[in-house]
Structure 1
């Protein structure tokens, strides 16, 4: 394709990107208000974190279906499923006074994110010339990355100066307008395969695996027999899904995992995203509000400079890969992240808002330098015909890594209170925060080992 994108084409891309942005904004806007939601719904943090974890799991599962949806349905249908799910989510979360109804609203947000984000990256190559695909793909990635960056500040600002439900009310008119724009701009660009059937078995297996493993992790503090049964069921379902993925009509072709370099890169990518979302989506907002006593707005503002710095630094990381290859930026990035978590573990009990803010900027420099380069280097190990499946795996792992991150750190914070029953809520949070930083440091070290093994295999 050599023609330049028209105004209508750009409007289509913008409409899809905006829906994806708003969906992600809602998730991170809710995250920063977890302490308030704990009090409102009268449930523990381990239950409230499902507002984020559940949405991310649903999003990951929906993303796995994106290749099927791209061939089976036209772009307009997928867009209206995404916007309809988001609109219904916003309405439910605006009025829900029951924990389970609010959770259902959050899960619908996951459907929207999981539908619209892959749609955007599928539509861009259809509408822009090859010479500009890189620019528009990077632009789309930046729009999506801006959601998590602005979400905590947005959610904190609304909760501080207005009723917290305004987080959802404010964007309802925006989504209604975007739906009208999408009705005008979005058309189908490729033939639809009406006879294409969904791999229901594969979908059921990955749904069970993702959900049950997260539930087992969340209930690990209870140390019951059912917890371990959950883990066993989840692992069996995951292994079965990978084996099932060797079939021709599987929802996701998992033969790519026979490439050990790719597999090691996926594990590294998963661990980086686990630490990223666990840190920014749960640990820093809750630590700041509970241990340091700041407002939701201040906890969001603590994250804002680092998040903005990450967006600005992302092109720099890509340029390093172009000039020096993937090893240098990935090693530097992971080393900065490991250094950050090590220092934070040591000084956790004497942290203040300013220290967290400036240290988080350093963390984001490391994350920006290495994150996308791990994906790029992993995909480059695959032949071109397998990169579609490889990309879908990276997308799903990115979202699910965040879900596991919030589950894991919520568990650690709960255990800190359990093992220190005499501690006050504030003291228990200081202890839990230190434990979380220590665990995240260990996970980044594992990520370094994994990616080093991947690079070593490239030499063999």
Structure 2
């Protein structure tokens, strides 16, 4: 008899995913506002890009706590807290009179999304039958993926009509909808007993490391390495690793990094996010700066691809359930690599229509490989380690997403919108080739473990 997913479980997954949707929607919608924000607040593009980077950094830092939070608190309490924080941040961002308060609002939105993003995948793993995990990981991913589908077009349309502040106010519809769907459906999920206290020291060390690492990359615009940031990032990283190995408190299970099978998928997952969010920042800016496209059409360039990719994600999850990870991983990365190569070679000749077409194929390949890699990486782990695996995956991919936007803005600031677009595309192509080796390493290790 086929195992079914209850309506209550379905609605709870969608309700929690909507909070993540809200944060990513605001992040991608704000990308098309950078030229206007730069004028309104009388500052440069590299400073304004922190509207995106600050959000992604806040998400990243908050996700590091998710393995502890889902063991310590009920999923309902975490969901409600994320909604309250998100609505406060959204109102602050919409009313912000300066860049500092705008960034603070984005940070609050990031904290909320950082709670909700791993929570939705933990709910899927804990409540959905194993034979349908791939499909429902895809469906949860679809809700979140719809945000970058609509975000740039939504932001571009509002910037050209009601102004950039309306992006925040109208977005409040999403958390309100989440409350309506989840009030009677989001409840408790099975939790592992927790008899350890939260490791505040390890959390602080990792937060400082991630923040200073991004500041270090951001400072490269000056043409020199900031050795102070480098030293802080390096020292806190070493201290975090030492603390993670020796501490008796609860934070992230660093032993997962000793598993080659897990790491072989973790790195591609992070790189897919790095490349996608980097291009999501670069493409609208390139179209506006090089082809003088309007804010609306610059944002629209990403809509068809991300929208189609979002709706196809559950099908990619179903393909994983039926055929396993090999076909979607190899096929997805092949499509991804070919498109990135085409963009790198012809970037200076790509106007609005060719970019729309290429981005559609790019997202299909990316989502096919990314969804399968994430599902396999979590599903392969023991029950006691699934929450930690989810936290590590979400943390690294969001940090790499923040890094992608920073590198993208840096390349365009240093070499111009066209050269920056081309340079980032060539770099992405090299990373895509390297991912084939990591995927092959995963299957070799998987076969070895099965044989043993």
Instruction: Say yes or no: TM over 0.5.
Output: yes
Equivalent in the alignment of 1:27:
27
Match of 1:254 in 2: 254
Residue 94 to residue 139, structure 1, CA distance change in 2 (3 Å): same
Q: How many positions carry a matched residue from both structures?
A: 445
- Mapping 1:13-412, distance limit 5 Å: 13-124=13-124, 135-172=135-172, 175-176=175-176, 178-179=178-179, 186-188=186-188, 197-224=197-224, 227-246=226-245, 247-280=247-280, 282-322=281-321, 324-379=323-378, 382-412=381-411
Q: Does 435-444 or 380-389 show the bigger shift? A: 380-389
What SS is found at the alignment partner of 2:198? Answer: coil
CA distance in 1, matches of 2:201, 2:400: 23
Q: Which moved more, 1:444-453 or 1:367-376?
A: 444-453
8 Å Cα contact 1:272-1:371 kept in structure 2: yes
Provide Cα deviations, 1:42-89, integer angstroms capped at 9, x if missing partner: 222221111111111111221121122223223333223211111111
CA distance, structure 1, for counterparts of residue 131 and residue 430 of structure 2:
42
Could you tell me which runs of 5 or more consecutive residues in structure 1 were left unpaired when the two chains were aligned.
417-427
Task: Give the SS at the match of 1:250.
Answer: coil
Measured in 1, the distance between the counterparts of 2:199 and 2:269 equals 26
Unpaired stretches in structure 2, ≥5 consecutive residues: none
1:72–1:196 Cα contact (<8 Å) kept: no
1:438 corresponds to: 426
| Matched position secondary structure for 1:164 | coil
Q: What TM-score do the two structures reach when normalised by structure 2?
A: 0.89
Tell me by how many angstroms 1:165 deviates.
0.8
Name the Cα RMSD after superposition: 2.7
1:362 and 1:131 map into 2 onto residues whose CA distance is 29
Following superposition, the deviation at residue 129 of structure 1 comes to 6.0
Question: How far, CA to CA, are the matches of 1:250 and 1:440 in structure 2?
Answer: 36
Given that 1:160 and 1:297 are in contact with CA atoms closer than 8 Å, whether structure 2 keeps it comes out as: yes
Deviation of 1:167 after TM superposition, in Å, equals 0.6
Aligned partners of 1:260 and 1:454 also within 8 Å? yes
Q: Contact 1:256/1:262 (CA < 8 Å) preserved in 2?
A: yes
CA apart distance, 1:135? 4.8
The answer (yes or no) to whether the contact 1:413–1:436 under 8 Å persists in 2 is no
Distance 2:265 2:336 in 1: 17
TM-score normalized by the length of structure 1? 0.88
Cα distance, 1:384 vs structure 2: 4.5
**Counterparts in 2 of 1:266 and 1:17: CA distance versus 1, 3 Å:** closer
Output the CA distance in 1 between the equivalents of 2:132 and 2:326. 26
Larger deviation, residues 450-459 vs 139-148: 450-459
Shift of residue 372, structure 1, vs aligned partner: 1.6
Tell me by how many angstroms 1:12 deviates: 4.1
Contact 2:282 2:408 in 1 (8 A): yes
* Matches of 1:451 and 1:234, distance apart in 2: 29
Task: Return the alpha-carbon distance in structure 1 between the equivalents of residues 113 and 50 of structure 2.
Answer: 16
